[in-house]
Structure 1
Amino acid sequence: MDEDENLQAIMGLIVNGGNAKSSAMEAIMAAKTGDFAGADAKLKEADVALSEAHNSQTGMLTKEASGDHVKVTLLMVHSQDHLMNAITFRDLAGEIVDLYKKLANKA
């Protein structure tokens, strides 16, 4: 993997991870106001962004597994951190949206 390809993959992780986290936060805010359709739509947006980030990561892993080793940089570590935080945040957002839905049904 050349340096330019590597940088594109890293930026794919950062941008898509950030987009996923933002969409997940927007889902929580929508659910908080009772907009459950909007919350579900935002969770789906987060899932799409995570899928795109995962594709970038899979490309990097595939190249590494095939023997095309890449130097690990602080930027690469940072991108992986963004992705893992986004995944965790998305999972938690789904649970919070579900809680708001249950609370709304009891009111």
Structure 2
Amino acid sequence: MTAIPDFMFRHVAVVEPLVGEGAYGPVYGPQVSEPCLADDKRQLVRDANGLEVVSDTTVYFKPGVVCPPGSRVTVNGRTSTAITSLVRDGGGLPTPDHVEVALK
């Protein structure tokens, strides 16, 4: 497995993974601090329902980080919601494997 080099992870994100819905709204798992690379760029992404949503930040994590859509992510002093979470795995090819999360 080839991953994004460690020196690229210049930021730290606090991830509260969405684990379900309760009587009072979303239920989140315990907070986890993860090294990441935060890229502030505005782009259109499709959410889990296929709707176009504007993402203001894309966060790149090391392989294995769990951050499902709907999770709360705090990076660079801003708390956002994960729109999409994509596992980028080259299946053994020499690609930079990582987890890519679009935030709104």
TM-score clears 0.5: no
The structure richer in strand per residue is 2
TM-score class, shorter-chain normalisation, is under 0.3
Max radius of gyration: which structure?
1
Q: So what's the TM-score if we normalise by structure 1? A: 0.22
Structure showing greater relative contact order (alpha-carbon pairs closer than 8 Å, 6 or more residues apart): 1
Q: So what's the TM-score if we normalise by structure 2? A: 0.22
The structure richer in helix per residue is 1
